[in-house]
Structure 1
Amino acid sequence: MTVLTVVLATVISLAPSLLPRPSVVQGIVTGLFVVAAPALLRLVVSVRRRRSGRTPPPERPELRLPVALVGGSAVLVAAAGAHRWQNRLREAMSVPPLDVRYWIEALTIATVVAAVLLSLPRLVHVLSRRPVAATVAVMSGIGIATVALSPGETIDTVSSPTALSAGLSGGAGSAVPWNRLGREGQRFVSLPAEGSPIRIYVALSAAPDPAARAELAVDELRRTGAFDRSYLVVTVPTGSGWVDAAAVRGFETRWDDDVAIVAQQYSDLPSWATFVLDRGAAAEEARALVTALRAHLSTLPHERRPTLHVYGQSLGATGATAVFDDIAPEPCTLFLAGPPAGVRTAGASVLANTSDPVVWWRPSLLWSPPDLSHARADAPTPPWLPVVSFLHTTVDLLTSLETAPGHGHRYSDDQALCTTTAR
């Protein structure tokens, strides 16, 4: 029974994914599945035995070899299918095809992961009897993790430019100094541009609450003359405060120097953490900003009011749609890119890839297929399988940004075009 469980776990780990899967990820997934499946089987058998009071029938040694041969054949067939599927994805996404080295690396990593996981109970038992060794092991692990994470925090910064134009937050006359923009705000205003861009960014630390940050954003827009332009784009950032450079480039290419872009940060955590811990923050911040903007626009003569557009990508799409809870968006005023599954898209201009795991992932994926009616087919779409699709989509979330633009959760300049209206 254990052999069959390991075979089934290996086959499931090789099921079709949404995105090309690196050998390291494939190896880790297979190793985890191979260890977790027998453990789950033992748990189920143990529970059933306690309830029924029956002892399981003894294993039949003469069946081990036939079962192993059949199981090995099944794994080889699954691996061949995975090889073909991965190469189909790679061809669609202009990624080099797999070779034998890929499977050697994946097998090696799977073996190491399985061996480490299987040895953990024994290691814990040994360390529990030696407190000093346990303390040294824990402190060493913390030290290694700290060293591994420190370089990313140090390198991932934005250098202060020698000069910023008055149309940018942090520039001449701005009420938001450069060192108060935060990393994502600095990236946003420093993006390459032609002409005279107006980009306003209000960081989370710039004011104490959403309403105060919104008023600061309006003041900055007024200072830069943004309300004299024909188009005003509110871009709702992702959970970390990131604004997609491709979207900014797309809007500024589409409307040249006749557009102003404003973003207001609602969190500085990774998007997944904000989604889990405080997903309502995006909606609250977006409503505050758009409410303040609408109030100011109502004071302007109708012929002088810029057209207001709202854009959101990923978690930012949840905030962008919340702006229109009380009114329906007019055509091409609401732009969504890669909206998470379940986000209301009616009346919006939507750009979503069928290969984007963010578009797929939601708890109901365990038992029902995803709604891809608003997505464009950018690559082969794997069949939906109960539970299995949920597991693989969860894994694909980890590499959703490691693709070429136009695939996965990476979108290009065309997300600023009103080309698709969701039904």
Structure 2
Amino acid sequence: MGSDVSSVRHRAAPNHTEHMIRDFLLGQLRRFHPVGLALGLIFAVWSMTPSLLPRTWLLQSVATGLSFVSGYVIGVVAAWLVRRCGISPSWSERTRRTGWWVLAAVAAIAIPAFLVLGSWWQEVVRDLVGAPQPGRSRYLLVLLVAALVVAILVGFARLVRGASNRLTRYGSRYVPGPIARTASVALLLVLALFLIDGAPYRALVGNIDESFALADNGTADDVEPPTQPERSGSPESAEPFDSLGKEGRTFVASGPDAAEIEETIGRPAIEPIRAYAGREAADSFDGIAARVVAELDRTDAWSRDVLAVATTTGRGWINENLAQALEYTTAGDSAIASMQYSYLPSPLAFLADRDSPPEAGRALFEAVYSRWDAMPEDARPRLYVFGESLGSFGGQAAFSGEQDMLARVDGGIWTGTPHFTPQWQRITDDRDPGSPQRLPVIDDGEAVRFAASPSDLDLGTPWGEQRIVYWQHASDPIVWWSPDLILRRPDWLREPLGPDVDPGIRWLPAVTFWQVTLDMVFSADVPDGHGHAYGSDAADLWAAILQQLDWTADDVATVRSALEE
């Protein structure tokens, strides 16, 4: 008999646990607002529609989870506003139960259907940008990971709400309830701002920066110190090779020498100059820039035909396609001046440090320009600028706008410019009527032109001697990401889409924002000519900007081939 009782207890224990888990989950689900769930479902399935670039199943999971939460919040706020307006429908229990069953049935049909459609849409987007097809089977995991994202975010929100309620109850002992509620919300907002932009945040960024400073001591494989005196980091240079940072060491050790240029283009060439200083060269950006100018003095860069100021991304990276295309097109009669201003990789610098790129961009250009401007006009090199991504953002900070650029440089290329760049925004907003946001026409293309591919430079109108090119792809999320996507459909989604953008892309509040946000993660991991991958088209763009004498289409094709090797 005792054994029978024991057996019953052992069988009952798991059942009791299962009931507790089930009751807990049902209790959590009942706390969801039906209007929020309905709108969250719409946002979640819409998140599986195509955006600018193909997404992995994991990124799609995050986009779906974030979209669901965004829809849920909007639905709950909308229902609250309706109640505040005095509209409070009284549904019967039967009607409520029917509504829940309808919502469950719609979810059971829509979610699997959109998972299948989403995996197919991703294949279409991959075809448009020439990316490989990884298969669709893992897309089934989207629902599981998205549910985990939702659980984490909802759990955090409920913790915050619980904290607010406790603070309100405590405050109500001393002041009226509404004042206590307002004070609790205000206190939590102040705490959030302190964590986001206060001492803890700065300490966190400082620790991250120090960690990446240690990683910056490494050197990429097959990178050796340069031997040419025209390179910083060489034995003749005042800038030690080890001080240039990982990306700086790669930059000065890369690129063609005079013999390679001559062999490639079939013309006499000289050794191109690459002047560079690392973050540890001085305690300030002005100090680092002064070291770069000293390298220009040492290498007699002022006697070259072309001098280009290049603003780097976070850790000092420069797109080799832009640098080498310039050197090939000028037969080596060029000098590139650049510097490292941060230890943070571009994604972290993008999120955590928007101040350093413009400060460094201004410091470097002003240092070079001051020295260049003091030279006799007929004895100084032609002055150009270029930069990609954060480099474009930082480099443009040296100028107040289009006219200031044209007053101080002969031309340049700004590549994959982030949407938050003020100069880019002003120029784009002032585009000629009828021209699209993705390829604006500025003053009939007299000086500034936008291009996704070299053919876009041909506007059929005269192009002056000073030539600025904004190189941006229609499918580059770095260019088109903006917080405005949360509530407003941008012009680039109202107008005819670019050739590498899926015609099925649509704007939906919040959803499109999360889609484009997640598109940025692997925006450079697509074939050249799409997304944030800018490659051999640099040969055509520099040829159009520099206008070298006797430079032919065959020469451009030769340089393109050299860049593609």
Q: Specify the SS of the correspondent of 1:95.
A: coil
Q: Secondary structure at the match of 1:320?
A: helix
Alpha carbons of structure 1 residues 267 and 56: separation in structure 2 relative to 1, 3 Å: farther
Matches within 5 A, 1:108-127: 108-111=144-147, 113=149
Give the 3 Å change call, closer, same or farther, for CA 112–274 of structure 1 in structure 2.
Answer: closer
- Give the Å deviation of 1:332: 6.0
C-alpha distance in 2, partners of 1:359/1:199?
A: 28
Secondary structure (helix, strand or coil) at the match of 2:307 reads strand
Which blocks of at least 5 consecutive residues in structure 1 are unaligned?
125-145
Counterpart CA distance in 1 for 2:381 and 2:49 is 50
In the alignment, is the contact (CA less than 8 A) between 2:485 and 2:513 conserved in 1? yes
Question: SS at 2:387's partner residue?
Answer: strand
1:259 aligns with 2:334: yes
Change (3 A) 1:376 1:64: closer
Is there any run of 5+ residues in structure 2 with no aligned partner, and where?
1-33, 161-207, 259-270, 428-447, 449-467, 546-565
Q: Distance in 2 between matches of 1:162 and 1:72?
A: 61
Tell me, in whole angstroms, the C-alpha distance in 2 between the residues paired with 1:258 and 1:80.
56
Q: For residues 192-207 of structure 1, what are the structure 2 equivalents within 5 Å? A: 192-195=255-258, 196-207=271-282
Query: Secondary structure of 1:262's partner?
Result: strand
Take 1:56 and 1:393, find their aligned partners in 2: how far apart are those partners? 40
Shift of residue 420, structure 1, vs aligned partner: 8.7
Give the alignment of 1:18-417 within 5 angstroms.
Answer: 18-34=52-68, 37-38=71-72, 41=75, 57=91, 58=93, 60-97=96-133, 99-111=135-147, 113=149, 153=215, 157-158=219-220, 161=224, 163-195=226-258, 196-275=271-350, 278-325=353-400, 327-329=404-406, 333-343=411-421, 344-345=423-424, 346=427, 347=448, 348-370=468-490, 372=492, 377-380=499-502, 382-415=505-538, 417=541
**Cα distance 1:31–1:288, how it changes in 2: closer, same or farther (>3 A)?**
closer
Conservation of the 8 A alpha-carbon contact between 2:129 and 2:527: yes
Larger radius of gyration: 2
Relative to 1, partners in 2 of residues 1:209 and 1:115: Cα closer, same or farther, differing over 3 Å?
A: closer
Q: 1:308 to 1:371 in 2, by over 3 A?
A: farther
Classify 1:378/1:256 alpha carbon distance in 2 versus 1 (closer, same or farther; 3 Å). Answer: farther
Aligned residues: 396
User: What secondary structure does 1:232 align onto?
Assistant: strand
> What is the identity, as a one-letter code, of the residue corresponding to 1:391?
W
* CA gap 1:420/1:64 in 2 versus in 1, 3 angstroms: farther
Which TM-score applies when normalising by structure 1?
0.79
Change (3 A) 1:9 1:226: same
CA contact 1:236–1:311 (8 Å) conserved in 2: yes
- What displacement does 1:339 show? 0.7
| Deviation by residue 1:349-398 (Cα, 9 ceiling, x = unmatched) | 0110111111111222223333559x964433633333322221112122
Whether the 8 Å CA contact 1:3–1:68 is kept in 2: the answer is no
| Aligned position for 1:141 | none
TM-score (normalised: structure 2): 0.61
Post-superposition offset of 1:280: 3.9
Counterpart Cα distance in 1 of 2:369 and 2:217: 40
- Is the 1:378–1:406 Cα contact (8 Å) retained in structure 2? no
Query: Secondary structure at 2:337's aligned position in 1?
Result: strand
1:156 deviation in Å?
6.5
Letter in 1 for 2:506: P
